Amino acid sequence: MPPSWLDHPPHPWNRQGEALPTAKSTEGWSLNAKQCAQVIRAPQSPTERALRQRGWYLFGTAAKHNAVEIVLGTIGFDGMCRPMGYQAFVFMDGRYAGTLSPELMNARSDGSLMGDIKFTGDRTVEVEFARYSETDPLCCPSRMSRVTYQLRNGRTPSVMATRITTVPTSEPRSTSSVEKLTGQRWQLRRIGTNQEVTLDSVFLEFNAAQQRVTGFSGCNYFNGGYRLTDHDLTFGAIASTKRACLEAPIQTIEMRFYEALGQTTRYHLAGDQLHFYGGDRLLLTFQPMP
C-alpha cells in the first residue's frame, strides 16, 4: 500500500489566502450524482453555496462551532452512493481557511475521514482517519489516525495540522454482534413469515467503521445509519434514490422492505440466515449473497 501523509509528522499544505478550490472530476465519479440525489444536501449557508458553485456536491452534516464551519464536499459517488473524491473544507467567519486533508479522499479507503469532527476548543479540532492494511476487510480498518488541527482566524484564516497519532482500532465486539454482519452482502429471501422474495438483487451491507448500512431495494439504492448493541438493532432514516419502477411486484417488495427496516428492533443469526425482528415478530430474512 502506498505511503500516506498520515505516516509522517504534520507538514503544512494549506496556504494562507488560497482560493476555494474548484471540483475537478478525473475519474468519472460525477456520473453517479443523479443516481445518488437523495444523499446530496442543498446549500444552507453562503459558504455552502460557494462550494456548490465550484462544482462540489454537499453531503453529511456540517460541523459548526462559534465562527468555524466545516463542510463536506465531494466530486461524486460510487455505485453504492458512497462519496468518492471528497474533502472537508474549513471556513472561519465565512472565509475559506483550508482543508483537513492534503488530498481528496475515497470512502472505505486508507486515509478517509472516518469519525465525527470534534471541536476540542474554540480553535482546535480533532478528526479520525481510517487506516487500512492490504489485508483489512473494507468494513473494518485495523488502525486509525487521530489528527489535531490548530485554526487561526487572523487577517487571513488558516488551518494547520499539529499532531498525528496512529493506533490500532478498538477491540471488536463479540462475533455475534459485529464480525458476522459485516464484510459481506446480505440478500433478502423472505418478508415476514411467508412472502418469499424471488428477486436476487435486493440486499443490504453493513459498514461498521462508519455505522452505515447501504444496499439495493429492487428498484433504488439506499443508505442510512444503524445502531447495533449485542442483539439489538435499529435503523435511522433511510435515504434512497428516486427511480420509478412500474412493475407492481418490485414496488410492493421495496415498500415492505423499507417499512420492515423502520420497525426492526433486534436481529438473530441462525446458521447462514440473518433474521430481523420487530419485538417478537419476524420481519425479514436474509442469506449471504453468493
Share above pLDDT 70 across residues of the chain, in percent, rounded to a whole number = 93
Instruction: Report in angstroms the alpha-carbon separations of 51 from 22, 56, 57, 86, 91.
Output: 8, 6, 8, 12, 11
Q: Amino acid letter at 205? A: E
Beta strand segments in the chain, E: 57-58, 63-65, 68-77, 83-92, 95-99, 105-106, 118-121, 124-131, 143-152, 158-168, 185-191, 195-196, 203-207, 212-216, 221-229, 232-240, 266-270, 273-278, 281-288
Ranges of each domain in the chain: 5-168, 185-288
pLDDT of residue 119: 93
Between 108 and 104, where is the model more confident? 104
Environment class of 41 (CB within 10 Å of its CB; exposed 0-12, middle 13-18, buried 19+): middle
Cβ(130)–Cβ(112) below 8 Å: yes
Highest mean pLDDT among 147-161, 164-178, 179-193: 147-161
What whole-number distance in Å separates Cα of residue 127 and Cα of residue 152?
Answer: 17
pLDDT of residue 138 exceeding 80: no
Q: What is the DSSP letter of 48?
A: H
Q: What is the pLDDT of residues 224-242, one digit of tens each?
A: 999 887 778 999 889 988 8
Beta-carbon contacts of 178 under 8 Å, excluding residues fewer than 6 positions away, are 172, 208, 228
Longest CA pairwise span in the chain (Å): 67
Structure confidence at residue 187 as a pLDDT band (50, 70, 90): very high
pLDDT of residue 122 exceeding 60: yes
What whole-number distance in Å separates Cα of residue 279 and Cα of residue 177?
Answer: 18
CATH T-level topology, domain 185-288: Lipocalin (2.40.128)
Strand partners, 214: 205, 223
Of 259, 254, 191, residue with least CA distance to 221: 254
pLDDT of residue 170: 59
pLDDT of residue 175: 47
Cβ(252)–Cβ(191) below 8 Å: no
pLDDT of residue 62: 87
Average pLDDT, the chain: 87
Between 202 and 138, where is the model more confident? 202
Q: What is the pLDDT of residues 67-105, one digit of tens each?
A: 999 999 999 888 777 889 999 999 999 999 999 999 999
What whole-number distance in Å separates Cα of residue 86 and Cα of residue 112?
Answer: 9
Cβ(50)–Cβ(17) below 8 Å: no
pLDDT of residue 40 exceeding 90: no
Q: 72-108 in b/e burial notation, b at 16+ Cβ within 10 A? A: bbbbbbbebbbbbbbbbbbbbeeebbbbbbeebbbbb
Is pTM beyond 0.75 here? no
pLDDT of residue 151 exceeding 80: yes
